[in-house]
Amino acid sequence: MNDHITVEGHDGAFAAYIARPKASPAPAVVVLQELFGVNADIRKTCDELAEQGFLAVAPDLFWRQEPGVNLSNVTSDADWQHGLRLYAAYDRDAGAKDVKDTVDAVRKLPECNGKVAVLGYCLGALMVFLTAVRCHGVDAAVTYHGGDTEKYLGEVDGLRAPLLMHLAEEDEFISKAAQAQIKAALAKKPNTIIYSYPGQNHAFSRHGGAHYNAEAAALAHERTYAFLNHQLG
């Protein structure tokens, strides 16, 4: 299919959704999913990045457990529970290697100009952080409400890539204490920018999500596109 590629990773091959910009070669953004798989929300995010001039690729992070997961993040409680089970069983260490394999594969695509950023949401945001601190060679990193990031702050010294982080102040999955720990740990990294969004809940930028806020989402995306253009320009 035109909108999918296969990544040949160290532990096996897995699929990735791809959205191509009008002009190429272009800088690339590897987009990392929430616990719902590479679903309509993630595919739309890739399409929007392509409209901004980026080559966007979303790998199937759950390929070891259940290839091709595509769950609703809005209407289905059964899908929510399904996603939670996959999230709980997900091997984050192996996942970080999968992301690095994806970055390496995307960098070699003829449509890519050699610059690659990683961007993720919730689980995907945590994987962006882990990839950025463990796997050097990423040109920029963007995280939206990365759950459990505070548990890995001991690795922050490994961060080399410029990092943009979006946090929702009323996030029900990332406590205010955890947010304070994250900000304190990253304060010593000069290449890091953190934005907080007052009154916003987890996943405030998710298309059609329960806590979607158009104004906050637009501001976050505007900041993201400016950051990516600056770092990958």
Model confidence at 76, in pLDDT bands (50, 70, 90)?
Answer: confident
Nearest to 48 by CA among 29, 70, 32: 29
pLDDT for position 84: 92
Q: What is the share, in percent, of the chain residues with pLDDT greater than 70? A: 99
Give strand ranges (E) for 33-161.
55-59, 112-121, 140-144
pLDDT for position 208: 80
Alpha-carbon span 119 to 132, nearest angstrom: 10
On the question of pLDDT at 1 being above 60, the answer is: no
- Which residues, at least 6 apart from 7, have a Cβ–Cβ distance to it below 8 Å? 13, 14, 15, 16, 59, 98, 101, 102, 105
Tell which wins on pLDDT, 190 or 227. Answer: 227
Catalytic site positions: 171, 202
Q: What is the share, in percent, of the chain residues with pLDDT greater than 90? A: 91
Helix axes 123-134 and 92-107, enclosed angle (nearest 10) = 70
Q: Kindly report whether the global pTM for this prediction surpasses the value 0.85.
A: yes
